[in-house]
Structure 1
């Protein structure tokens, strides 16, 4: 379940700086402790620069299993250790908090989240989702702009988590179905066609939180 020594891990650092927030870094597990991992200082993908981390930094991490499955977890920086090179100590997650991306069967939950839509003709509007999943979302709107099946939309989804943090998830999606409701509103069903794995994981994390909410009722 956990990554092993010498396994590569891919990291995004939670930050208010939007350009930095989307940068992915690569590191390697140097040692596994009882309650933490020691990792090499991350290297930014593309630039090759070392990413300076600070105690308390929140990280989104994924690693690959031997079968090529991506496993995600959230963690934070505990401190540092000096070996031949400086290492970063991060909190080991609870095993049940590690999630996998399943390409065909995403958990779908009912959720009223704010979503901004931009059409290819430049028209824009804001509405709310009916449900969300790691594979796509559905939303309703009044039909003031004509959306057609097969059209590609640029979207931004606002996701509030139980800990109070808020994420903005950008993606491009294709309209797969449109249904007229009894209220006169239209329901539009979308599937993701362009979304980064880290952004998809933010949605999957929200879906798991919602699922636990339903179980507790």
Structure 2
């Protein structure tokens, strides 16, 4: 499903500058043809400032559909058009690359990301994830840490993006399941229970980029 004419779209612009990459912009679909959308010049959320785009700028875009479902896709600027005010032309994605995300059904991808963990007794360790998603993550660690179902953990996830920028995402999570292996290691599955929407969006953005890579192999 594509956004319709007059639908709002929310945009992040790929940048090696962390602060610039985190800024969100709003725009509106002005026209729709076979291989592209025309959108209004984006406006920065919170400040109302217009954002000038350039041909080749890479964009992460989402739009909302019924039930508050977020639909994500990656695209880039391919040109401009003038119709009283300047419009920006962006490449229309293939339908199968649009990812739908509901709060109860977050996309999860296999990924080996560095994660720092602190238990309630202040024991700390660093390990790597098995998979990550907007609703939870799993990782493997030594059984000596004694992690059990129901434990609350405080975590910091290191997320690298395709544009070269890196984010550290803090969150509090509950252990929903553990699985002991024969190698004195344990797989720990977590549910995110305390994370800001902005930090969760960083994980979702990474998952979307990762899935996009898988589909294009």
Report the TM-score when normalising by structure 2.
0.80
Partner of 2:157: 156
1:173–1:190 Cα contact (<8 Å) kept: no
Q: How many residues align?
A: 210
Which is further off, 46-55 or 18-27? 46-55
Which is further off, 124-133 or 70-79? 124-133
Q: What SS does structure 2 have at the residue aligned with 1:71?
A: strand
1:142–1:185 Cα contact (<8 Å) kept: yes
Which structure has more relative contact order (CA 8 Å, sep 6+)? It is 2
Question: Taking structure 1 as reference, are residues 79 and 120 closer, same or farther at Cα in structure 2, changes over 3 Å only?
Answer: farther
Q: Quote how far apart the aligned CAs of 1:108 are.
A: 4.6
Kindly indicate whether residue 207 of structure 2 is the aligned counterpart of residue 203 of structure 1.
Answer: yes
Report the TM-score when normalising by structure 1.
0.80
Q: What pairs with 1:119-138 in structure 2 (closer than 5 Å)?
A: 119=118, 125-138=125-138
1:113–1:157 Cα contact (<8 Å) kept: no
Q: What pairs with 1:1-217 in structure 2 (closer than 5 Å)?
A: 1-106=1-106, 108-109=108-109, 111-119=110-118, 125-142=125-142, 149-158=150-159, 168=167, 170-176=169-175, 177-193=177-193, 194=195, 195-197=199-201, 199-207=203-211, 209-210=213-214
Deviations 1:68-126 (A, max 9, x none): 321111000112112221111110111111110133344555x3512221537877643
Q: What SS does structure 2 have at the residue aligned with 1:103?
A: coil
**1:151, 1:129 → 2: CA distance?**
17
- Greater percentage in strand: 2
2:12–2:61 Cα contact (<8 Å) kept: yes
The RMSD of aligned alpha carbons is 3.0
**1:16, 1:41 → 2: CA distance?**
22
**2:59, 2:138 → 1: CA distance?**
29
The unaligned stretches of length 5 or more in structure 2 are none
**2:39, 2:94 → 1: CA distance?**
18
Which is further off, 34-43 or 176-185? 176-185
The unaligned stretches of length 5 or more in structure 1 are none
1:171–1:192 Cα contact (<8 Å) kept: no
Q: Quote how far apart the aligned CAs of 1:63 are.
A: 0.6
